[in-house]
Amino acid sequence: MAAAAAACRLLRLAPRRLRNPRHSLFRTPLALSSGWRRYCAAAATPTGDAVGEFRRRIRVAEVKGGEDQGAAWVGKELTVRGWVRTCRAQRTVTFVEVNDGSCLSNMQCVLTPETEGYGQIDSINTGASVLVEGVVASSQGGKQKVELKVSKIIVIGESDPTSFPIQKKRASREFLRTVAHLRPRTNTFGAVARVRNALAYATHKFFQDSGFIWVSSPIITASDCEGAGEQFYVTTLLSNSAEGGCLVNSIPSKDGRVDWSQDFFCKPAFLTVSGQLNGETYASALSDIYTFGPTFRAENSNTSRHLAEFWMIEPELAFADLNDDMACASAYLQYVVKYILENCKEDMDFFDTWVEKGIIDRLNNVAEKNFVQMSYSDAIKLLIGSNKKFEFPVKWGLDLQSEHERYITEVAFGGSPVIIRDYPKEIKAFYMRQNDDGKTVAAMDLLVPRVGELIGGSQREERLDYLEARLDESNLNKDSYWWYLDLRRYGSVPHAGFGLGFERLVQFATGIDNIRDAIPFPRVPGSAEF
């Protein structure tokens, strides 16, 4: 064996001419040597079994999700894999509610002492994972149309009932944030996850069907898209090699400042606050694109509306103006709202009953009503003329607050979505196109009931001289935006786009009042758990 292995190594290292049988140093060609074939050929061409065919598992949602609520499945065999919600043992029968995460409904599993595996009944506790096999039957109870008459049950993973933190009684959402790794097993957060998934799918479907191309924008950037300076640094200068973390005097400096030339990217780098600027580069070549990815804000806002890590949807439309932008935003929002109303009916009924009464009617209004548009100046006049006392002052030149936005859409326009356009340039980002009045920019915010601003967008400034002037006014280094300015030098076109915080959309669609409950693992000031 050792000699053969050595021969294999020699062959790999040998010059090409020695591998040719005509120049072989061996009298018998290696390929014909029985020992060589036994020890080397087998290793070079291993044999094995073929990979099995992937088969889609039948989920509870497919059984109970139809209009007949599972009646068509009566008499058919079914295997369910999931987690125990409840277990009720009676004298001759035991009812186990199993949820596999595919829908809100559990599968009621009926066990008798004749069921194979019934001896494990003491291990069938809330939170345990199980596999159950049986035949679907009409249910005698009024809560469901069908149930599973179990012939076999296997406890896959046990759960200690004395320490499992999620019991049958209702738990506060504040508490569930402390066990975010387990909260998807509750009705509320399972439903949020499914609606979030449906919104993401509908987002891709809308843009793909509309001819847009998905672009992956970078997470690490050297640019500040918003000009707000609220970004997380990305650096390798903070070494953790020393006990207790980095020593301050180990950070390289020059002239009293951090020497970024010694960092990984040789310059300051950040987690992105937006994929927009990068998206514009691809819109300048592919026409219509969209980005959908994570973004970050180092804003110390410990409120129910802010996250440090969140997802953004940012389409960019080439050869487009603000009117095109508003039309696209309106069509997108109505599309995704209709999608979840049609495809997440059970979950939406749950939200309508337990989270926000009337949410389905509110969403139907958004899906069916025409969107209204008005200028920022007219919105200010409307708010002042309302004679309503707001917490924040209303004055031309000040940004609209959530209370102003909600008054406009909920009260002034009776629940219709409203688009406010043409904002003062001083309160908007540098890249927005300046209007002819010299005071406003072609920006728009789409307002919806209960949330306020849901979408913010603008026509981008395609004129090089105007854009350079705005960078100077915003005290931003033009050298950092050299590539962004190049888009205006080489084949510039009118273009527009918008940004939508995905978690705010999830909030709007589910009625969840805290944005920390609209994302699987919230990142907020003082907490990066899980």
Is the model's pLDDT at 16 over the cut of 50? no
Q: What pLDDT does 470 receive?
A: 95
Q: Tell the residue number behind the tokens 């109870």, with chain if given.
A: 141
In percent, the amount of the chain with pLDDT more than 70 equals 89
pLDDT tens-place string over residues 346-376 = 999 999 999 999 999 999 999 998 999 999 9
Q: What pLDDT does 8 receive?
A: 46
Same domain, 506 and 384: yes
Between CA 496 and CA 338 the distance in angstroms is 25
Q: What pLDDT does 229 receive?
A: 58
Cα separation values, 295 from 221, 233, 424, Å: 11, 13, 26
Beta bridge partners of 381: none
Q: What pLDDT does 13 receive?
A: 43
Between CA 402 and CA 460 the distance in angstroms is 25
**Do β-strands 372-375 and 418-424 pair in parallel, antiparallel, or remain unpaired?**
parallel
Q: What pLDDT does 243 receive?
A: 58
Is the model's pLDDT at 30 over the cut of 50? no
Between CA 418 and CA 374 the distance in angstroms is 8
Between CA 38 and CA 45 the distance in angstroms is 11
Residue that is last in its domain, among 107, 134, 157: 157
pLDDT tens-place string over residues 254-282 = 888 899 999 999 999 999 999 999 999 99
Same domain, 143 and 200: no
Same domain, 357 and 429: yes
* Cβ proximity of 462 and 492 under 8 Å: yes
Same domain, 461 and 354: yes
Q: How confident is the model at residue 252 (pLDDT cuts 50, 70, 90)?
A: confident
Same domain, 200 and 109: no
512 Cα distance to chain centroid: 16
Is the model's pLDDT at 382 over the cut of 80? yes
CA torsion, ordered 85, 91, 92, 97, to nearest 10 deg = -10
pLDDT tens-place string over residues 459-518 = 999 999 999 999 999 998 898 899 999 999 999 999 999 999 999 999 999 999 999 999
| 471 lies in some domain | yes
Cα separation values, 488 from 215, 316, 320, Å: 20, 15, 15
Q: What pLDDT does 238 receive?
A: 83
Between CA 210 and CA 200 the distance in angstroms is 16
In sign, the C-alpha dihedral spanning 140, 144, 149, 155 is: negative
Cα separation values, 505 from 47, 88, 448, Å: 52, 39, 10
Between CA 201 and CA 244 the distance in angstroms is 44
Which of 456, 447, 421 is closest to 435 using CA atoms?
Answer: 421
Sorted by sequence, the CB contacts under 8 Å of residue 458 that are 6+ apart come out as: 322, 325, 428, 429, 431, 432, 433, 441, 442, 443, 444, 496, 497, 498
Is the model's pLDDT at 24 over the cut of 80? no
DSSP codes joined into one string, 352-381:
HHHT-TTHHHHHHHHHHSPPEEEEHHHHHH
Q: How confident is the model at residue 170 (pLDDT cuts 50, 70, 90)?
A: confident
Between CA 411 and CA 404 the distance in angstroms is 10
| 7 lies in some domain | no
With b for 16 or more beta-carbon neighbours within 10 A and e for fewer, the 411-438 pattern comes to: ebbebbbbbbbbbbbeebbbbbbbbeee
Same domain, 194 and 129: no
Q: Tell the residue number behind the tokens 């970078």, with chain if given.
A: 218
**Do β-strands 94-99 and 372-375 pair in parallel, antiparallel, or remain unpaired?**
unpaired
Q: How much is the average pLDDT of 67-91?
A: 94
Q: What pLDDT does 43 receive?
A: 55
Same domain, 293 and 401: yes
Same domain, 280 and 362: yes
Same domain, 223 and 133: no
Look at the chain and report how many structural domains it folds into.
2
Is the model's pLDDT at 527 over the cut of 70? yes
Can you give the residue range of the structural domain that contains 129? Answer: 60-157
Same domain, 358 and 452: yes
Question: What does the block give as tokens for 432?
Answer: 């927005």
Q: How much is the average pLDDT of 396-401?
A: 96
Is the model's pLDDT at 241 over the cut of 70? no
| 256 lies in some domain | no
Residue 314, helix vs strand vs coil: strand
Q: What pLDDT does 21 receive?
A: 41
Is the model's pLDDT at 27 over the cut of 70? no
In percent, the amount of the chain with pLDDT more than 90 equals 75
Q: How much is the average pLDDT of 329-337?
A: 98
Which of 205, 515, 509 is closest to 332 using CA atoms?
Answer: 205
Q: What pLDDT does 374 receive?
A: 98
Residue that is last in its domain, among 135, 157, 179: 157
| 37 lies in some domain | no
| 172 lies in some domain | no
Is the model's pLDDT at 12 over the cut of 50? no
Q: What pLDDT does 48 receive?
A: 87
Q: What pLDDT does 403 receive?
A: 96
Q: How confident is the model at residue 452 (pLDDT cuts 50, 70, 90)?
A: very high
Same domain, 463 and 356: yes
Sorted by sequence, the CB contacts under 8 Å of residue 79 that are 6+ apart come out as: 58, 131, 132, 133
Sorted by sequence, the CB contacts under 8 Å of residue 93 that are 6+ apart come out as: 110, 111, 112
Q: How much is the average pLDDT of 282-296?
A: 97
Task: Say what the pTM is.
Answer: 0.88
| 41 lies in some domain | no
Looking up residue 116, the CATH number of its domain turns out to be: 2.40.50.140
Chain mean pLDDT for the chain: 89
Q: Phi and psi of 58, rounded to 5°?
A: -75, 125
Question: What does the block give as tokens for 162?
Answer: 């004395």
Q: How confident is the model at residue 97 (pLDDT cuts 50, 70, 90)?
A: very high
Q: What pLDDT does 523 receive?
A: 95
Cα separation values, 388 from 56, 382, 414, Å: 57, 10, 16
DSSP codes joined into one string, 437-451:
TSSEEEEEEEEETTT
Residue 316, helix vs strand vs coil: strand
Question: What does the block give as tokens for 139?
Answer: 């249910």
Report the alpha-carbon angle 72-65-199, nearest 5: 155
Looking up residue 312, the CATH number of its domain turns out to be: 3.30.930.10
| 162 lies in some domain | no
pLDDT tens-place string over residues 295-304 = 999 988 888 8
Same domain, 207 and 345: yes
Q: What pLDDT does 226 receive?
A: 57
Is the model's pLDDT at 35 over the cut of 90? no
Which of 292, 290, 284 is closest to 489 using CA atoms?
Answer: 284
Between CA 389 and CA 379 the distance in angstroms is 16
